[in-house]
């Protein structure tokens, strides 16, 4: 399927019971949560602080969010992680607002604040003289009274990514990801990807991080539970704590929908749904511009991080079991340079490091979500701009792309549009 529902299809081969689980999970993913107490006890417990009322508020049609276009445009999936510098060089949660700014709240509980975005145009020129312009965003967080939080606050804006293919990425054996890492650039190619290791909340042991812009979550279930807590204010067996700091008395005294607010079975259905969202099929495979573009993409060095092929291990779902997949990611952390740095470490990632985002489904973004905003904060207005923002380990690939003849640049874009 290549239409507006391209990101929302189940993987093939689900049995009748699994299709029912998929439908139930889809229902919980899309329906709004409400303030407790309510007659709909299965969906009450919103907040007290939150950013959205449902998962699909940010992941519209299971796709990718975009930043607001201006002060009158609502925030549709742009979240802001917060922090303050610690003495050891790390970043601690904000003492009042915690790890994430929640700009909405239930009645009787003050929202935390808002974000102001301004932009600067950055002109540039390709080697052949063709001009381009990048738009650099600048962020300021205001408290509920409209006052800036202060210069010492570390701000990391993030747009919600697409949901499909997560079960396949979860199934790639950790050993294969770790084996592909080259943290000290032993081969001298300028690419030093690191395997992101995070702490498993249940066992306390180090495990591979896979999900989130900085790969801070190890499993689909962990990613979902963290989003329920931080984005919607819904507690679960995996994340039982409310997103209220000690300084937020009104939040701590606010209405809650039980302990936990989404119990394990329902969270499991949402997890099943997100694990089994199918990757849309490629288009225009074998077309001359597409094939030429893939060759140029590889020759420019882009495939050094956006690895074409991975394999999954054994899985409890046939469509996820031992599959050869083409996600165009190595699942590693890479230093992307100061231009894309948020200055906020998370999990095993530094402020300049980001997990390589998968490219599969990229060409259907405008069809599904009506925009082409890319990178972690949506600053890039097109695939071309996203490439031109690459720095750090990806600088050499960006320089090669910028030096290409116009026909080869168009071929690269045609290849990416086919994914």
Q: List the chain domain ranges.
A: 16-171+219-275
Paired tokens of 263 = 């119990």
Q: How confident is the prediction along the chain (419 residues), in pLDDT tens digits per residue?
A: 789 999 999 999 999 999 999 999 999 999 999 999 998 888 999 999 999 999 999 999 999 999 998 777 766 689 999 999 998 888 999 999 999 999 999 999 999 999 999 999 999 999 999 999 999 999 999 999 999 998 889 999 999 999 999 999 999 999 999 999 999 999 999 999 999 999 998 899 999 999 999 999 999 999 999 999 999 999 999 999 999 999 999 999 999 999 999 999 999 999 999 999 999 999 999 889 899 999 999 999 999 999 999 999 999 999 999 999 999 999 999 999 999 999 999 999 999 999 999 999 999 999 999 999 999 999 999 999 999 999 999 999 999 999 999 999 999 999 999 99
Give just the sign of the alpha carbon dihedral 321, 64, 183, 87: negative
Q: At what angle do helices 264-275 and 220-227 cross, to 10 degrees?
A: 120
Q: What is the pLDDT of residue 286?
A: 87
Helix (H) or strand (E) holding 265: helix 264-275
**What's the rounded Cα separation, in Å, for the pair 6 and 63?**
9
Angle at 408 between CA 406 and CA 412, to 5 degrees: 115
CA distances from 407 to 292, 358, 400, 412, 413 (A): 10, 25, 14, 9, 10
**What's the rounded Cα separation, in Å, for the pair 339 and 301?**
19
Per residue in 363-389, pLDDT tens? Answer: 999 999 999 999 999 999 999 999 999
Q: Is 30 helix (H, G, I), strand (E, B) or coil?
A: helix
Q: What is the pLDDT of residue 75?
A: 64
Helix (H) or strand (E) holding 105: strand 104-105
Paired tokens of 356 = 């390589």
Q: What is the pLDDT of residue 289?
A: 87
Per residue in 16-44, pLDDT tens? Answer: 999 999 999 999 999 999 999 998 888 99
Residue with tokens 């899309």: 30
Q: What is the pLDDT of residue 238?
A: 96
CB 322 within 8 A of CB 206: no
For 123, residues 6+ apart whose C-beta sits below 8 A from its C-beta are 131, 132, 133, 134
Paired tokens of 46 = 């919103």
């Amino acid at each position: 399927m290549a239409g507006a529902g391209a990101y929302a299809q189940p993987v093939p081969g689900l049995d009748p019971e699994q299709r029912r689980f998929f439908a139930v999970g889809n229902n919980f993913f899309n329906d709004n949560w409400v303030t407790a107490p309510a007659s709909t006890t299965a969906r009450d417990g919103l907040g007290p602080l939150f950013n959205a009322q449902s998962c699909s508020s940010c992941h519209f049609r299971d796709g990718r969010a975009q930043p607001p276009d201006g002060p009158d445009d609502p925030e549709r999936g742009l979240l802001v992680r917060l922090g303050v510098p610690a003495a050891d060089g790390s970043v601690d949660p904000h003492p009042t607002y915690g790890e994430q700014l929640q700009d909405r709240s239930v009645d009787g509980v003050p929202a935390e604040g808002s974000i102001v975005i301004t932009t600067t145009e950055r002109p540039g020129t390709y080697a052949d003289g063709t001009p381009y312009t990048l738009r650099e965003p600048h962020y300021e967080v205001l408290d509920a009274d409209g006052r800036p939080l202060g210069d010492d606050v570390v701000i990391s804006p993030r747009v919600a990514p697409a949901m499909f293919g997560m079960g396949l990425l979860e199934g790639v054996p950790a050993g294969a990801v770790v084996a592909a890492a080259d943290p000290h650039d032993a081969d001298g190619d300028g690419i030093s990807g690191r395997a992101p290791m995070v702490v498993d909340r249940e066992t306390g042991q180090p495990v591979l991080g896979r999900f989130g812009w900085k790969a801070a979550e190890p499993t689909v279930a962990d990613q979902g539970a963290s989003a329920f807590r931080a984005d919607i204010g819904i507690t679960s067996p995996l994340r039982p704590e409310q997103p209220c700091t000690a300084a937020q008395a009104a939040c701590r005294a606010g209405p809650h929908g039980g302990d936990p607010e989404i119990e394990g079975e329902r969270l499991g259905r949402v997890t099943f749904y997100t694990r089994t969202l199918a990757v849309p099929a490629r288009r225009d495979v074998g077309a001359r511009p597409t094939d030429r573009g893939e060759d140029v993409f590889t020759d420019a060095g882009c495939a050094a991080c956006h690895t074409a092929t991975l394999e999954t291990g054994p899985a409890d779902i046939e469509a996820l079991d031992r599959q050869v997949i083409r996600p165009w990611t190595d699942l590693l952390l890479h230093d992307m340079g100061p231009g894309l740095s948020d200055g906020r470490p998370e999990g095993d990632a530094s402020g300049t490091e980001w997990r390589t985002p998968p490219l599969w489904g990229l060409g259907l973004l405008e069809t599904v979500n009506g925009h082409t905003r890319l990178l972690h904060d949506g600053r890039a207005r097109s695939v071309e701009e996203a490439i031109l923002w690459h720095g750090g380990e990806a600088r050499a690939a960006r320089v090669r792309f910028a030096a290409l003849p116009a026909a080869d640049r168009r071929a690269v874009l045609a290849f990416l549009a086919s994914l």
